Structure formats: C-alpha cells, structure tokens
Structure 1
C-alpha cells in the first residue's frame, strides 16, 4: 500500500495546518480580551466591543451545529479512510455516527469477504458527500491452492455533524462498504453452489441432460447429490452480497467458475430413447418401464409417463399381479409342488383362509399341465398350493433366490421389492402377486433377468467400480434345472399364452408373463408385463388400464424390438 501512506501524510499535514491556524486565532483573541479587561476607559453600562460569548473564537455557537465545513469533510473522511485502510477498525468506527454497527461490519470484511491489501482513494467532495475508490485483493481457494484476484469498485460516504457531540462524523450505512449493500446485508466470498456440478454420462460417455431426457430428471438430480464429492468437480468461488440469513442476493464477481465432475452410468442411449417412446405411446395418462441387461444386471433404460414427477419405474410400490407367478412358480418347482409337464389342477374357484379365489372370467383347465396353467395365468393353480406352504415360504424364496427385499445398491434411490409374511387369505393372495406384495418395473424386470441369466445379479445404474460399493447378493442360487424350466414356461407364454399377441413380432430367445393387478377403489386393474429377448429384459406397468397383455405388453415389445 505504498501510495496510500503518502496520501495519509498529506491528510495529516492538512490537519496540522488547521490546528496551527486555530491556535494562532485563539492566542490573538485571548490577548485582546486581556487588554480590554485591564483598560476600563469604557463607561459602565455602555456597549462592549467584545461579543458576549463563552467561545474564545468570538463565533456564534449555533454555527457549530450547521453542516460540516469543507475542511471538516476533508479531515473526517480522510481520517476514516486512513484508519480503514490501515486496518484500525476501532479508530475508523469511532469516526462514525454508529460506532457499534460500523465496527462489526468493518471487522467482518476481511474474513467474510477475504479482502486484503486495501487501498482507498477519495475524490473531490460534493457538499458532505465524498466519493472514493476501493482497490483490494480477494483471496480464495481453487483446485486446492490459494488464488488471488484484484477487485475494484466505487463507493461513497457522507460526513455529517453528530447531533450529540456536534463533531463531524461519517454517517454509517452499509453502502459505505459497498454501494450494493442494503440493510442487514454483507459481502461474502464463498462457493458458487453448495455442491459441485455433476454430469451424468451414458454408457458411451456422452452427457445425459434433463432437458433432453425429462424422464431422467429425478435420476440425474439424485446422482448429482450422491456423487458430488466423488465426481471430481469443484463448486467454483464467487464474491457476493448476502442477506442476514446468508442467502445470496447478488453475485458481484465470479472468481472461479464451477467445474463439473462426471459420473458414469449404464444407460444405453438407444434403449433409453426406445423406452421413452414406448411409455409415451402407452394408452392412458401413466406408464413406466425399465430395461436391464440380464448377463450383467446393468440398467439400460428408465422411463415414466408423465416424465415429470414421481419415479414409478424405480421407486413405485404396486402389487405386481400375475407377473409375480414367475417367483411363485420357482418356489413350487423347488418344493416339488409343480413341474412344467406334470398334471396340475386349475379349477374355476379355490377357497383358502375363508376367501374364495377365482380365475379371470371363471375359466378352468381340465386335465392340464402346470405349463398350461402358467401360460393361461390360472390363479387357482397357484392358490391351490397354499395349504402346502409355510406363511413365510414365498418371502424367503423371493429374497434368497431373486434378491427381492434385499437392500440394493443401484446408485440411485430405489424400492427393492417387498414380500411380507402373511397368513390365510392374504398369504394365498401373495402367491398371485396380490396381498402385501409390492414391486415396480425395476424389480419385475430383474425377475425376468434372473430367469434369463439363470441367477440373480443385482441391477445397478452407476457401476460399483466408480465408488467401490458392494452389490446385494442372493444367498441361494437358482437351480439350473429350475431356471431352464422357468425359461420354458415364459417361452410358452410368449408363444401361445396370454403374452403371445404382444410378443408376436419379437424375435430371438423370448419369454414373457402378463399380469393384471386389482386395486381397491380403482375402476380398472393395473396392467403389468415382463419379458426378455436374448440379453435384454424389460418390465412395464400401465396403472388403471386393463389386461397386462393388452396395455403393458406393447410397451415391453416396443423396447425389445428396438434393441440394438
């Protein structure tokens, strides 16, 4: 601050010259007064040549309560700016009409705004107003190192006469520090954003944006929040005006631009585009779908209609209806209660736990096999086995073999399925995906993927190698023979069962299962469909629409057909 010290000396010289002038004037007046008192040539009662005043200067005291003189303005503003520049906050604040507020604001400035090397240069006053320029250095952290940037701005102060002391003082107001400051506001240097920006990448390394993929907006936001630290970005730094609560009012200087970190995902742009289009084409106002690669567990696509709002595809909690018969079939095969080619009952009605269960349109299958019942989605073929099962049999099998109900580490928020232990009629209803069973397109796509792959691989959207998290693992393997049998059941259903119409145009190694879940108080059932073709498994739900094959089937088929 070389130039400022010279200016301070000049200000001090001005003050000394004035003090000297005042001293001479006072001495002259005192000498004159003494002479007058000693020489009493004036007649008693005649007017005196000396004004009747206690002020030895001979001036009217009322003049001291007027506006500060030009010299007082120069001296007071100069002394204030000198003290502020030198870091003598106590002295600077003492020269204002609100010492407490001024001291608090001046004290906070170096720390909160990170200002140093302050140089203040005043311009020509206009009345009591004194414009001045602030030159400072702002210090901030960026990329792990301390950085510096010059900053200059113009401000103004006003010198007034203090009502209590009649002395000239600086009128304290926030605008003295900076012209943009209002009451209760202050300057602060801090991060541009609370968290560093994060870019979510597809499997090809291209950026996925909410503008281009509105249905992924929630996923992108979740990824940004979860991986802000790991992604390698920076928040940037700014000098700003904040209110009393610390909220940004205005950015004054962007000192360092935020840099985005990057998080890889498994989203396949072609499959994602197809899935988004498929849910848009679905009948009704709502539809959701998820696509998974069975051989890896990678989530290739997530889509909802409407695109904005709750993410039903990953976080929904719906009864999956007959699509859950895939899991129940696996349990029955494991327990020796069913076999694809074996004879299996499918009566019109079966009562369990005091509740009569029936098939759609009350159909029955006489002398049929379990494969026939599965393909036709016969409810009573499954309910009839309830007496042979424990209350917790289905939940245990769903968790231990299909991973449903475990805590999945997908990389974003998900609901990972729920198969609670129930009894009587509710336990029986669970066997056909009703009762307390709750799933979503993610978990039902995983069921198809588990069958196609021959074992459970936890689905994930952010590769676990990115952050070192551990994926959920099923405690029991799916028996290879049972897996082959399940694939045969799903293939039969896709070729001539309830899924045949929807899957008629899908090629490759295919399998599927339909579902229609009744919901209390809802006019139509929720349509479900899950299936696979080669190394792609997809599930969809179209709420309050109708039969799964008619309403959810086309969504799944459209995605499977669009697979690269």
Structure 2
C-alpha cells in the first residue's frame, strides 16, 4: 500500500472560522472561578485557573478553524499548526465540537484538561472520542499547551496516523414484481430508494483507519460509518423483490419528465385489490421523496372522503339539489375555481365540477370530527402504515372553528396527504375496502378498517366516472376503459400559485399525482396521468 501522509493529502481549502459554541469561553471560566462555581477548588493542590483558561482557548481556536491562533498557544507553534490543519481538513472534518472538562493537576505540577471531541466527517457521520490537553507553566508565569501529537487523538503518534476511507458502493440489486432489475437510468426516481428497499440504511459508508506511517498498513479502525449491506442488507445476494412494475415505473418517470414542466411533482400508482405499489415517481428524481413522504393539502381530491361521509349518513344522494353559488362566506370568503357557479345543481354535478361552495354549505350535516373519523375508519388515513420505505400516513385534525371546518370540507385547512395516500383513497373508493399500500411483499399491517357499504362505493364510482365524461377531469375522456377521476386545486398561500391534483382509477389500478404550483389539477396533473395511462393501457400481471 502506498504511503501518503495526512499532510500530503491535504489539498482542501481550510475550514472557515465558525463560532465554537461548545467550548466554554475563557471569560466564563474565569467568572465561574471567581464565584467559586467552577471546577477548581481553592487550595495549594488546585490547578491554576489560568491553565484551564488557556486550554479552553486552545480548543476554541481549533474548533473554529483558527489553527494559527490555537498553535500560538502551544510550545511548538509551527508543528502544531501543521498537524491541526492536516488532521482536521485532511479527514474531511467539518466544524469540530470540542467540549472541555474539569482541569486536573498532576504530581509533577503539570495540568491536564480532558475534552470530548465530536468530529463530523463530511457526508458520513460524527466521530467521537476523548483526549486531554496537557499544559505547563513557562518561566514567565504564563501557561502553554505542551504540544504532543497525542493531545489531538490518543492514538496519533510519530509512528501512526489516520486515514479516511470512503467506500465506493454499487447500487444493491432490487427487482420488480416479475424479477426485472430496477437498477438503471430508466428508473431515476427509484435510485435514491434502492438501498432502503434492499434492507440497508441508504447512507454512504466509510471508516477512519489507524495506519503505520511507514508501511501504510492498517493497525486498527477508529470509526465506521454506514451500514454494510452484506451485514445488514441484501446487496451482493439475491435481488430484493418488490411490488413495483418495471413498465409502470418507467412510464411514471417518463410522464413526469415530459409533462411536469420543471415543477416539483410526484405520482403513485398502486393495485386496487391489494394496495401493492406499482410505481412511485418524483420530479426531480434525485430530490425528496414527496410521493410517499410529502405533506400537502389534498384540495378537492379530498371530496372523495367528504362525499363518503355525507353518503354514509344519507345526508345527500347524487341527485340531491345542492346549489353552487360563486361565493360563500364562513369567517372568510370561499369561492370556486374561476368563480364558477351552477344554480340548481345536483350533488353529482357539484362533485364533477368540484364546487367548493356547495360542499362547504353541507358542513352542518357532519360533526366536527366526523370526516376525520371516516378517513381513519374506512380509508386508513392517519393510522400507522408499514409501506417498506419511509412514508407519511396523513393527518385529519378536528377543525378548531367553523372556518376551518369549511376549509376541511374541500381538503384544505390542516388536512395533510400526499400522492401515496390519495392513490390509496382512490383505490378504497373503487373497491370499498382499504388495503395498506406496500412496496415490499410481506410488510406487516397493523391497520384496522371497515369496508364501505356497496351503495356508497357504487355512488362514488358513478360520480367519478361523470367527472371524466362531463366534468373537470375531461382530459382523460379520450382514453379507453371505464376511468373515474377527481381533480383538485389546493391553495398554498396568497402569494403562490395553487398546487394541482388529479386522482384516477382504471381497471385494477389507482393513480394520484400532484404538481406544485400547477394552478389546476386538470391543466397540470392531467397531462401527466394521461401520458402514464396511455403508455400502460392494461392492468399489471
């Protein structure tokens, strides 16, 4: 192994000076001593407070990247500056946190100040160890740090140094439901999730080794970072089988790439009969997994749940007349998209045109907690899901006042969901039974739900179909099959464009898509789901 010193490897820019909050300031130590509150006791055997003050100042300069200042406090300034810089920068340590303990006086009159070092190694984790700062009194009466390599780390010496090793990791083998590999550029959204699916921790791996300065041989390992897949995961073994479908996944990624227009967007497709996830895609593909972990107001797609609550109570039927005015004030003014209105509209018309004011006018038909109860009991929203990857499982809090209750009727207020949740809601509305979404076979299920009555399911299917043939989801009307859908427009703030939503079901598949700042669901999410459903016209095998 080629010998390369830490100093020779140091080609990085020194760390910028930052405030060393973890190091106790000298003035604080001095004040504590004067008040008899510090770690030093009065008496002939007590360490000189000036020694501890110097040690803390040394640690403060080191942690802040002021290597020249730290070195000037030692008995060997040139050597100290070189070692501190090469040790810290050469091991990719960012913003060391050095915390001093109580000073200790030796029999020979020297003073030692123990400290705990927390060394964040860039991109890997934190290396923690303890050491001591030795100090000796000069003839002038001042204290200096008695420089030695061992104070930087107890194992650093003239014979041994440290080496940072970063492990080059290849993507673990992950396959779709039919055994086809999902590793590759055809599935960009999955690449950040492969390690997690394969059972690893998904984090970079590396180690800090103690090596012989002459031979370069490893003498020991000081710290390891990241979980090795061959010890905790499945890389290098048989490919991990998932519920995903390669054709659906590739089509989902392609649809976002072609139609999202550079905006943040995500979608999920899953099987209606068992909740198995067929595709999970995000744009940008390398960013946050908003498809399963995002938190969004679902907007009018939530009217599927609100409608279920109303239908369960027989508060309305699809033929019930529920007027749809332009505006309705409940603490604040609510309006419809493009301030549309439909006088004498039926409830089905209100649903397919996504009339906010009509739904809000029905708020008195439901108790304050009733929509949340229906969401949890029948749709599993807010229960703990075990998907196989990290997920956010939804929240439907009880409204705080009448205005918030009005907002909740149309999927606003404090209701939170994401495409995974709304694809599951759509699947439940289509079949009448909630199935916990999963991406890994055999994932545990601790949810408990009740099936929707068949009459409610039939009415929901009729209204969702009408939304495609005659309503706001007409963007999907030219596709073959008995497609049902619901659009959504979710307000974010007064200063930002609305998010656009669209959920749909066809055959045995339910899909959901959100486009941040997409303005309308039909206009932004519509083309994405149209492209997806066109690319994979049949059900998965």
TM score, norm. by length of structure 2: 0.62
Give how far 1:389 is off.
2.0
Task: Describe the superposition over 1:369-419 as per-residue Cα deviations: whole angstroms up to 9, x where unpaired.
Answer: 100000110001111111232221111111111111111111111111111
| Residue 487 in structure 1 maps to residue 461 in structure 2 | yes
Q: Which one of the candidate residues 506, 511, 518 is aligned to 2:479?
A: 506
Corresponding residue number in structure 2 for 1:92 = none
Give how far 1:337 is off.
1.7
| Residue 539 in structure 1 maps to residue 517 in structure 2 | no
Instruction: Give the 3 Å change call, closer, same or farther, for CA 522–214 of structure 1 in structure 2.
Output: farther
- Aligned counterparts of 1:544 and 1:521: Cα–Cα separation in 2: 12
> Which has the larger Rg?
1
| Residue 548 in structure 1 maps to residue 525 in structure 2 | no
Q: Residue 434 of structure 2 contacts residue 449 of structure 2 at CA under 8 Å; is this kept in 1?
A: no
- Aligned counterparts of 1:359 and 1:552: Cα–Cα separation in 2: 19
- Aligned counterparts of 1:521 and 1:370: Cα–Cα separation in 2: 29
Q: Which one of the candidate residues 385, 405, 419 is aligned to 2:382?
A: 405
Task: Tell me whether 340-349 or 502-511 shows the greater mean CA deviation.
Answer: 340-349
Q: Residue 196 of structure 1 contacts residue 259 of structure 1 at CA under 8 Å; is this kept in 2?
A: no
Corresponding residue number in structure 1 for 2:470 = 496
Corresponding residue number in structure 1 for 2:242 = 265
Task: Tell me whether 266-275 or 450-459 shows the greater mean CA deviation.
Answer: 450-459
Instruction: Give the 3 Å change call, closer, same or farther, for CA 242–383 of structure 1 in structure 2.
Output: farther
- Aligned counterparts of 2:358 and 2:482: Cα–Cα separation in 1: 26
Q: Secondary structure at the match of 1:302?
A: strand
- Aligned counterparts of 1:359 and 1:387: Cα–Cα separation in 2: 19
Q: Residue 171 of structure 2 contacts residue 183 of structure 2 at CA under 8 Å; is this kept in 1?
A: no
Q: Which one of the candidate residues 359, 378, 383 is aligned to 2:336?
A: 359
Give how far 1:285 is off.
2.5
| Residue 394 in structure 1 maps to residue 371 in structure 2 | yes
Q: Which one of the candidate residues 134, 153, 176 is aligned to 1:202?
A: 176
Corresponding residue number in structure 2 for 1:279 = 256
Q: Which structure 1 residue ranges, 5 or more long, are not aligned?
A: 1-180, 229-238, 249-256
Q: Residue 325 of structure 2 contacts residue 342 of structure 2 at CA under 8 Å; is this kept in 1?
A: yes
Give how far 1:226 is off.
5.2
Could you say which structure has the higher helix fraction?
Answer: 1
1:146-295 aligned at under 5 Å gives the runs 183-185=159-161, 198-209=172-183, 211-225=185-199, 241=218, 245-246=222-223, 259-282=236-259, 283-295=261-273
Corresponding residue number in structure 1 for 2:394 = 417
Give how far 1:260 is off.
2.7
- Aligned counterparts of 1:445 and 1:258: Cα–Cα separation in 2: 30
Q: Which one of the candidate residues 319, 327, 338 is aligned to 1:349?
A: 327
Q: Residue 263 of structure 2 contacts residue 517 of structure 2 at CA under 8 Å; is this kept in 1?
A: no
Give how far 1:259 is off.
3.0
Q: Residue 171 of structure 2 contacts residue 195 of structure 2 at CA under 8 Å; is this kept in 1?
A: no
Aligned length: 357
Corresponding residue number in structure 2 for 1:452 = 430
- Aligned counterparts of 2:456 and 2:393: Cα–Cα separation in 1: 23
- Aligned counterparts of 2:405 and 2:271: Cα–Cα separation in 1: 32
